[in-house]
Amino acid sequence: MTDNRVRSIVIVGGGTAGWMTAATLARILGPDYAKITLVESDAIGIIGVGEATIPQMATFNRMLGLDEDAFVRATKGSFKLGIQFVDWARIGHTYFHPFGRYGLDMQGVSFHAYFQRMHLLGEAPDIDAWSLQAQAAKGNKFMRSIDAGNSPLSDIAYAFHFDAGLYAKFLRGYAEARGVVRREGKIVDVRLRGEDGFVESVVLESGEAVDGDLFIDCSGFRGLLIEQALGAGYTDWKRFLPCDRAIAVPCASVEEWTPYTRSTAHRAGWQWRIPLQHRIGNGHVFASDHMSDDEATAILLANLDGEPLAEPRTVPFVTGHRNKAWIKNCVAIGLSGGFLEPLESTSIWLIQSGLSRLLTMFPDRGFDPADIHRYNRIMQTEYEEIRDFLVLHYHATQRDDLPFWDYCRTMEIPERLAEKMRVYRAHGRAFRENEELFNDTSWYAVMHGQLLKPRSFDPVAGVMSLDETRARLAHIREAVANSAEYMPKHRDFIAEHCAA
* Active site (catalytic) residues: 80
Q: Which of 159, 164, 171, 447: binder of ligand FAD (CB under 6 A)?
A: 164
Kindly indicate which of the ranges 114-122, 341-349, 432-440, 446-454 contains the residues binding ligand FAD, using the contact rule CB under 6 A: 341-349
Looking at the Cβ atoms of 12 and 445, the one nearer to ligand FAD is: 12
Least Å from the CB of residue 240 to ligand FAD? 17
How do strand 199-204 and strand 209-211 relate by DSSP bridges?
antiparallel
Least Å from the CB of residue 250 to ligand FAD? 13
With 0-12 CB in 10 A as exposed, 13-18 as middle and 19+ as buried, what is 315?
middle
Q: Which amino acid is at 49?
A: V
Which residue, among 47, 375, 380, 424, has the nearest Cα to 234 in the 3D structure?
Answer: 380
Please report the sign of the dihedral spanned by the C-alpha atoms of residue 287, residue 337, residue 350, residue 251: negative
348 binding ligand FAD? (CB under 6 A): yes
Q: Which of 41, 140, 319, 376: binder of ligand FAD (CB under 6 A)?
A: 41
Number of residues that bind ligand FAD (CB under 6 A): 38
Alpha-carbon distances of 342 from 54, 83, 145, 349, 471, rounded to whole Å: 11, 12, 27, 11, 40
479 binding ligand FAD? (CB under 6 A): no
199 binding ligand FAD? (CB under 6 A): no
17 binding ligand FAD? (CB under 6 A): yes
45 binding ligand FAD? (CB under 6 A): yes
Degrees to nearest 5, angle at CA 52 with 232 and 404 = 70
Report the 3 state secondary structure along 194-220.
Answer: CCCCCEEEEEECCCCEEECCEEEECCH
- Output Rg (C-alpha) for the chain, integer angstroms: 23
Looking at the Cβ atoms of 185 and 414, the one nearer to ligand FAD is: 185
334 binding ligand FAD? (CB under 6 A): yes
Looking at the Cβ atoms of 66 and 127, the one nearer to ligand FAD is: 66
Helix (H) or strand (E) holding 167: helix 164-177
Q: Which of 6, 51, 258, 269: binder of ligand FAD (CB under 6 A)?
A: 51
345 binding ligand FAD? (CB under 6 A): yes
212 binding ligand FAD? (CB under 6 A): no
Q: Which of 24, 37, 53, 78: binder of ligand FAD (CB under 6 A)?
A: 53
DSSP 95-136: EEEESS-SS--BTTB-HHHHHHHHHHTTS---GGGG-HHHHH
320 binding ligand FAD? (CB under 6 A): no
Looking at the Cβ atoms of 152 and 342, the one nearer to ligand FAD is: 342
325 binding ligand FAD? (CB under 6 A): no
Residue pair 238/269 in contact by the 8 Å Cβ criterion: no
Q: Please report, as residue ranges, which positions from 272 to 291 form the binding site for ligand FAD (by CB under 6 A).
A: 283
Half-sphere exposure of 410 (CA within 13 A, CB side): 7
Least Å from the CB of residue 33 to ligand FAD? 23
Residues 105-134: x where in contact with ligand FAD by CB under 6 A, - otherwise, as a string? ------------------------------
How do strand 330-332 and strand 280-286 relate by DSSP bridges?
unpaired
Please enumerate, as own/partner, the contacts of 490-496 that have beta carbons within 8 Å and a separation of 24 or more: 490/78, 490/79, 490/140, 490/141, 490/142, 490/256, 490/257, 490/258, 490/259, 491/140, 491/256, 491/257, 493/79, 493/142, 493/143, 494/72, 494/78, 494/79, 494/142, 494/257, 494/277
40 binding ligand FAD? (CB under 6 A): yes
Kindly indicate which of the ranges 35-43, 250-258, 287-295, 421-429 contains the residues binding ligand FAD, using the contact rule CB under 6 A: 35-43
Q: Please report, as residue ranges, which positions from 225 to 264 form the binding site for ligand FAD (by CB under 6 A).
A: 246, 248
Q: Which of 37, 135, 219, 376: binder of ligand FAD (CB under 6 A)?
A: 219
Q: Which of 36, 47, 287, 447: binder of ligand FAD (CB under 6 A)?
A: 47
> Which residues, in sequence order, are CB contacts of 184 under 8 Å at separation 6+?
39, 40, 41, 42
Query: Residue 238 — φ and ψ, nearest 5°?
Result: -60, -30
Least Å from the CB of residue 59 to ligand FAD? 14
Residue pair 362/312 in contact by the 8 Å Cβ criterion: no
User: Which residues here bind ligand FAD, judged by CB under 6 A?
Assistant: 13-18, 39-41, 44-47, 49-53, 164, 186-187, 218-220, 222, 224, 246, 248, 283, 315, 317, 334-336, 342, 345, 347-348
